[in-house]
Amino acid sequence: MQKWTLGKIKKDLKSLKKLGWIKSNRKHNTGIGKTLEDHLKIKENNIALPDFGVMELKSQRISTISMMTLFTKSPEGITNSEIRKHFGYPDKEFPKIKILHQTISGGKRNGMGFQATIDEKHGKLLILKKGKLLGHYSLAFLKKKATEKIGNGLILVRAETKNMRGHEYFHYKDAFILKEIDPTKFLAHSKYDIRLGVYHSGKNAGKPHDHGSAFRLTEKSLPLLFKIHKQIL
């Protein structure tokens, strides 16, 4: 594992920014990370940084609209089958099968009365239906799953992108140190999806298709999940 100082990272990132547009060293989505690592002469993306511990180097296109799924799991206190049974509605093609497609954005109550809220006293994120408790997730569980997915310490470097003559180019513009995920910020910056459907084709046509309940967020909102948010470029 490479050991860096904050001063060295700042210096190298500043020099990288001054280079302006840089041709990608690799095609497709991973080019932004590969090009960054090559120019910083980093052999692995885990960096030991004094006062911050082990940090993962991560790159991101500033214009990204991509969504990431943090995890898929039904809430505690109720199963997906029970959710389907009590709150679902008949599928148009297979009316004997109940389906439920719902999205809760920012925790706000949606058209069918589903919403989410944080109970910090008991360390839970509550899923509600018209004000009544449907199920919950522990905040400790949310932090654990988010840490498994995106890490608990990141050096996030963002770049503008453009394409010329079939090649992608990057201009690395800013960078942040992100540390310690705060699960209480999930609601404001994520979407909670309930996707309980039915197979419409194939050998399972007419049978329930359980996509489950999932927390999703835009990659652009990733920095907002951390308690420590320090800009270094």
Mean pLDDT by 10 residues, the chain (233 residues): 80 95 89 91 78 84 88 90 92 95 92 94 94 94 89 91 93 94 87 93 92 87 89 93
Q: Match 């790159």 to its residue by tokens.
A: 59
How far apart, in whole angstroms, are the C-alpha atoms of residue 18 and residue 173? Answer: 9
Same-domain pairing of 205 and 134? yes
Is residue 155 domain-shared with residue 192, that is, in the same domain? no
Q: Is residue 128 located within the same domain as residue 208?
A: yes
- Which token pair is 57? 């180097």
If DSSP states are collapsed to H, E and C, what string results for 153-210? EEEEEEEEEEEECCEEEEEEEEEEEEEEECHHHHHHHCEEEEEEEECCCCCCCCCEEE
Strand partners, 135: 127
CATH code for position 32: 3.40.210.20
User: Do 122 and 12 lie in a common domain?
Assistant: no
Q: Say what the pLDDT of residue 233 is.
A: 92
Q: Does 133 share its domain with 154?
A: no
Write the CB contacts of 85 (distance below 8 Å, at least 6 apart in sequence).
98
pLDDT at 110: 94
Q: What pLDDT, on the 0 to 100 scale, is given for residue 35?
A: 93
Q: Which domain holds residue 7?
A: 2-64+145-179+222-231
Q: How confident is the model at residue 2, as a pLDDT?
A: 64
**Residues 53 and 102 both lie in one domain:** no
Residues 214, 99 share a domain: yes
Q: How many domains is the chain built from?
A: 2
Per-state percent for the chain, helix, strand, coil, to nearest 5: 25, 45, 30
Residues 161 and 227 in one domain: yes
* CATH number for position 109: 3.30.70.3570
Q: Six-digit token pair at 146? A: 């988010």
Same domain, 121 and 97: yes
Sequence length of the chain is 233
CB atoms within 10 A of CB 120: 10
- Show the beta-strand stretches assigned E in 12-66: 22-23, 46-49, 53-61
* Whether residues 52 and 9 fall in one domain: yes
Q: Tell me how far the alpha carbon of residue 115 is from its chain's centroid.
A: 20
The pLDDT value given to residue 159: 96
Do 13 and 45 share a domain, yes or no? yes
- Judge if 227 and 215 occupy the same domain: no
Contact 195, 138 (CB under 8 A): no
